[in-house]
């Protein structure tokens, strides 16, 4: 895949001139699709006042997710999604503009969910 | 037949052989002992509990036997076994009864698979139960004991039982273990409080057991649906403070205090979620019993109903996904 195509897929504005490696990395990361590790039917979760409590049937552990992490988790329950898509959900929830900051927040949350064994990269480039 | 129908001598003989099957509400435990003093303490602590006629039908078998070797000077000590297997001892003979209670707790915590078990106490009044949970030393047993002497029915102390699929707590009223100053604080509440002997020099200091009230034992089979979960924290000299916490936080605190939640997997999750749906959660910091009891009475007040009712700060809104 050419850099230009990757950036277009990621929905990033293509800067004039040479594409920087940092921008390229962000484009690839943000476009990576994520999914839940467990099947939806196996998961158990409950929401009280925004906070989400999730039972992970794979690890047997129970996790408390704050309102933003819970929104990302619930989005992944609907199907695989990339950080950029999830950032839009976060922005809508928090009533802020979707920008690089919200994308970075979505990536951090996905990384946390990955460490908890709740989410994993999906798609052809998934490990 | 209840235990007080037997004389101490008859009880002692039955403990020797064939054993006594005590019904504590949730469990039938077959007790055997050849140790002097155990019968007397059981007669005091379980006076109102039912004893079963068939010794063969029981959930667990606990034996407190004299030790074979002299380990404490002239005292041969006592050894405890569960279902025929020695698991603890030798202990000094004068600690035979506290050891029996500890073994009973161990049996419930480690070998009972049909309940989700919490390190907590619970009391009930007017069909609404309060769960008091927290680490040892937080004051939950002292509060449970005090409440059980002032109009609340003891559901259980030390370990409470939740049956999957049913939010009602399972009654298992047993003697409440009180430590050090708490013994006198509860004695001060009135002459109705009946205790076993006082045991000094245990690893937990001085302990004594408060006998559950006759009403608590008689009504052990009645369902007790929880409406409040309280996390007490005793701090010497502290003013009494109450803080309501959010349900999701309460859920996590509740499972932290379960002794077998991790083994119950999704069944346990759903059961605790069911309790969380119907309960409000409070942190209670206290330094004296009088104001703590007053705070608990306020916490326990039902929500006003009808027009003008105040919205629940952490009320409905549970959403299974």
CB pairs under 8 A between A and B: 59
The pLDDT tens digits of the residues spanning B271-291 come to: 999 999 999 999 999 999 999
pLDDT at A9: 44
% pLDDT > 90, chain B: 81
* pLDDT of B221 strictly over 90: yes
**What is the total count of domains within chain B?**
2
B173-185 average pLDDT score? 96
- pLDDT one-digit tens code per residue, B44-93: 999 999 999 888 889 999 999 998 776 667 778 899 999 999 888 888 99
Residues of B in contact with A57 (CB under 8 A): 265-266
pLDDT of residue B231: 98
Looking at the structure, tell me whether residues B101 and B159 fall in a common domain: no
Asked whether the beta carbons of B277 and A53 are under 8 A apart, the reply is no
Please list every residue in chain B whose beta carbon sits closer than 8 Å to the beta carbon of residue A74.
Answer: 321
pLDDT of residue A17: 42
Considering only the beta carbons, identify the residue of A44, A48, A60 that sits closest to B246: A48
Whether B315 maps to a domain, the answer reads no
Q: How confident is the model at residue A126 (pLDDT cuts 50, 70, 90)?
A: low
Residue B89 is predicted with a pLDDT of: 80
Q: Which positions in chain A touch B273 (Cβ < 8 Å)? A: 44, 46, 53
Is A59 an interface residue toward B (CB < 8 Å)?
Answer: no
Contacts of A44 in chain B (CB under 8 A): 266, 269-270, 273
Cα separation, B73 vs B25, in Å, equals 39
CA angle at residue B138 from A55 to B93, to 5 degrees? 105
Beta bridge partners of B117: B161
Distances (CA, A) of A24 to A8, A21, A90, B103, B271: 11, 5, 23, 64, 48
- CA within 13 Å, CB half, B197: 14
Is the pLDDT at A5 greater than 50, yes or no? no
Quick check: B165 pLDDT over 60?
Answer: yes
* Minimal CA separation from B247 to chain A, in Å: 6
B105 shares a domain with B215:
no
Q: Same domain for B230 and B187?
A: yes
**DSSP class of B94:** G
Residue B321 within any structural domain of the chain: no
Half-sphere exposure of B72 (CA within 13 A, CB side): 14
Q: Dihedral sign for Cα B164, B168, B174, B176, please.
A: positive
Supply B224's token pair. Answer: 């007790």
Q: How confident is the model at residue B314 (pLDDT cuts 50, 70, 90)?
A: very low
Work out the mean pLDDT of chain B and round it to a whole number: 91
**pLDDT confidence band for B7 (50 / 70 / 90):** very high
Which of B111, B135, B164 finishes a domain? B111
Question: Quick one: DSSP state of residue B3?
Answer: G
> Can you tell me the mean pLDDT for B121-126?
97
pLDDT grade, residue A124 (50/70/90)? low
Q: Which comes out higher in pLDDT, residue B238 or A29?
A: B238
pLDDT: is B86 or A113 the higher one?
A: A113
Domain residue spans of chain A: 3-11+21-122
pLDDT value of residue A123? 67
Least confident piece of the model among A111-120, B31-40, B208-217, B303-312: B303-312
- The whole-number average pLDDT for the span B117-141 is 96
Is the same domain home to B182 and B221? Answer: yes
Q: If 0-12 CB within 10 Å is exposed, 13-18 middle and 19+ buried, where does residue A21 land?
A: exposed
Q: Is the pLDDT of residue B308 over 60?
A: no
Residues of chain A with C-beta less than 8 angstroms from the C-beta of B255: 62
> How far off is chain B from A50, nearest CA to CA, in Å?
9
Domain that holds residue B28: 3-111
B157: Cα within 13 Å, side-chain hemisphere: 28
Pair B86, B67: CB distance under 8 Å: no
Contact residues on chain B for A64, CB-CB shorter than 8 A? 248-249, 251-252
CB B228 within 8 A of CB B300: yes
Q: Whole-angstrom distance between the N-terminal and C-terminal Cα of chain A?
A: 18
Q: Pairing relation of β-strands B176-179 and B205-210?
A: antiparallel
Buried b (16+ CB within 10 A) or exposed e, B206-225: bbbbbbbbeebbbbbeeebe
Which of B255, B269, B317 is facing A48, going by the closest CB pair? B317
Question: Which residues on adjacent β-strands are paired with residue B118?
Answer: B160, B258
Q: Is B256 on the interface with A (CB under 8 A)?
A: no
The reply to whether B84 and B132 lie within a common domain is: no
Task: Clarify whether residues B165 and B27 are in a common domain.
Answer: no
Kindly determine whether residue A53 and residue B317, on different chains, have CB atoms separated by under 8 Å.
no
pLDDT tens digit sequence for B249-262: 999 999 999 999 99
Q: Which residues of A touch B270 (CB under 8 A)?
A: 44
Q: Are residues B106 and B144 in the same domain?
A: no
Q: Return the structure tokens found at A98.
A: 């979707």
Residues on chain A touching B256 (C-beta within 8 angstroms): none
Assess if residue B7 is contained within a domain.
yes
The answer, yes or no, to whether residue B310 has pLDDT greater than 60, is: no
Pairing mode, strands B225-234 and B280-286: parallel
DSSP code of residue B93: G
Residue B242 near chain A (CB below 8 Å): no
Residue B104 belongs to some domain of the structure: yes
Residues B191 and B63 grouped into a single domain: no
Count of beta carbons in the 10 Å neighbourhood of residue B236: 7
Confidence (pLDDT) at B315: 38
In this prediction, residue B112 has a pLDDT band, given cuts at 50, 70 and 90, of: confident
Under the banding of pLDDT at 50, 70 and 90, the label for residue B264 is very high
Q: How far is CA B226 from the centre of its chain?
A: 15
**CATH of residue B172:** 3.40.50
In this structure, is the dihedral angle defined by the CA atoms of residues B304, B309, B313 and B314, taken in order, positive or negative? positive
Chain B interface, best mutation among A36, A44, A64, A77, by max B CB count within 10 A: A44
Q: Where are the alpha helices (DSSP H) in B61-211?
A: 96-111, 140-148, 181-187
**A64, B252: Cβ pair inside 8 Å?**
yes
Domain membership of residue B103 (yes or no) is yes
Residues shown for chain A: 127
Q: In this structure, what token pair is assigned to residue B138?
A: 């937080």
Same-domain check for residues B211 and B259: yes
pLDDT in tens, A39-79: 877 889 999 998 999 999 999 999 999 999 999 999 999 99
Q: Which two tokens stand for residue B14?
A: 């039955």
Facing residue for B248 by CB, picked from A48, A55, A77: A48
Indicate whether B86 and B137 sit together in one domain.
Answer: no
**How does residue A30 score in pLDDT terms, banded at 50, 70 and 90?**
low
Same domain, B156 and B251: yes
| Min Cα separation A6/chain B (Å) | 35
CB-CB under 8 Å, A48 with B265: no
Backbone phi, psi, residue B269, to 5°? -60, -50
Judged by a CB distance cut-off of 8 A, whether residue B269 touches chain A is yes
User: Is B124 buried (19+), middle (13-18) or exposed (0-12) by CB count in 10 A?
Assistant: buried
Chain A positions touching B316 (Cβ under 8 A) are none
Residue of B164, B248, B278 to mutate, interface with A, max A Cβ within 10 Å: B248
Which residue spans within B45-142 are E strands per DSSP?
Answer: 50-52, 60-66, 78-82, 85-91, 116-125, 128-133
Cβ atoms B122, B160 nearer than 8 A? yes
ipTM of the complex: 0.84
**Contact yes or no for B216/B172 (Cβ under 8 A):** no
Question: Quick check: B265 pLDDT over 80?
Answer: yes
Tell me: the pLDDT tens digits for A75-110?
999 999 999 999 999 999 999 999 999 999 999 999
Spatial separation of the C-alpha atoms in residues B98 and B119, rounded to whole Å: 18
User: pLDDT at position A122, please?
Assistant: 87
The better pLDDT of the pair B299, B189 is held by B299
The pLDDT value recorded for residue B54 is 87
The confidence band for A2, taking pLDDT boundaries of 50, 70 and 90, is very low
pLDDT reported for residue B12: 95
Domain stops at, among B111, B146, B170 = B111
Could A62 and B252 be called an inter-chain contact, meaning their C-beta atoms sit closer than 8 Å? Answer: yes
């Amino acid at each position: 895949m050419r850099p230009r195509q990757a950036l277009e897929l990621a929905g990033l504005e293509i800067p004039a001139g040479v594409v920087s490696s940092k921008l390229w990395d962000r484009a690839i990361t943000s476009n990576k699709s994520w999914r839940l590790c467990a099947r939806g039917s196996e998961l158990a979760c409950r929401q009280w006042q925004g906070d989400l409590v999730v039972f992970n049937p794979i690890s047997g552990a129970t996790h408390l997710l704050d309102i933003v992490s819970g929104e990302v988790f619930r989005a992944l329950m609907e199907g695989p999604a990339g950080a950029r898509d999830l950032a839009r959900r976060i922005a809508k929830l928090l009533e802020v503009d979707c920008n690089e900051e919200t994308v970075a927040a979505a990536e951090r949350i996905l990384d946390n969910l990955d460490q908890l064994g709740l989410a994993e990269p999906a798609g052809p480039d998934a490990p | 037949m209840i235990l007080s129908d037997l004389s101490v001598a008859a009880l002692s003989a039955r403990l020797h052989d064939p054993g006594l099957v005590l019904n504590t509400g949730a469990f039938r435990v077959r007790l055997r002992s050849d140790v002097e003093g155990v019968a007397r303490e059981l007669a005091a602590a379980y006076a109102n509990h039912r004893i079963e006629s068939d010794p063969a039908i029981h959930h667990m078998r606990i034996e407190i036997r004299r030790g074979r070797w002299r380990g404490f000077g002239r005292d041969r000590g006592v050894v405890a076994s569960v279902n025929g297997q020695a698991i603890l001892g030798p202990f000094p003979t004068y600690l035979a009864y506290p050891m029996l209670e500890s073994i009973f707790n161990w049996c419930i915590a480690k070998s009972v698979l049909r309940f989700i078990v919490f390190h907590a106490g619970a009391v009930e009044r007017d069909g609404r139960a309060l769960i008091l949970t927290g680490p040892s030393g937080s004051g939950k047993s002292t509060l449970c004991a005090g409440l059980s002497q002032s109009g609340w029915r003891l559901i259980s102390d030390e370990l409470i039982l939740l049956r999957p699929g049913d939010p009602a707590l399972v009654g298992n009223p047993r003697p409440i273990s009180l430590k050090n100053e708490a013994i006198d604080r509860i004695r001060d509440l009135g002459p109705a409080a009946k205790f076993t002997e006082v045991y000094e020099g245990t690893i937990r200091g001085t302990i004594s057991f408060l006998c559950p009230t006759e009403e608590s034992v008689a009504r052990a089979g009645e369902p007790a649906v929880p409406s409040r979960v309280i996390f007490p924290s005793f701090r010497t000299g502290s003013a009494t403070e109450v803080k309501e916490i959010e349900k999701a936080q309460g859920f996590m605190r509740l499972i932290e205090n379960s002794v077998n939640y991790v083994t119950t997997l999704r069944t346990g999750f759903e059961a605790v979620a069911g309790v969380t749906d119907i309960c409000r959660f409070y942190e209670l910091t206290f330094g004296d019993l009088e104001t703590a009891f007053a705070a608990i009475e306020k916490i326990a007040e039902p929500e006003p109903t009808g027009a003008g009712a105040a919205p629940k700060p952490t009320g409905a809104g549970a959403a299974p996904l």
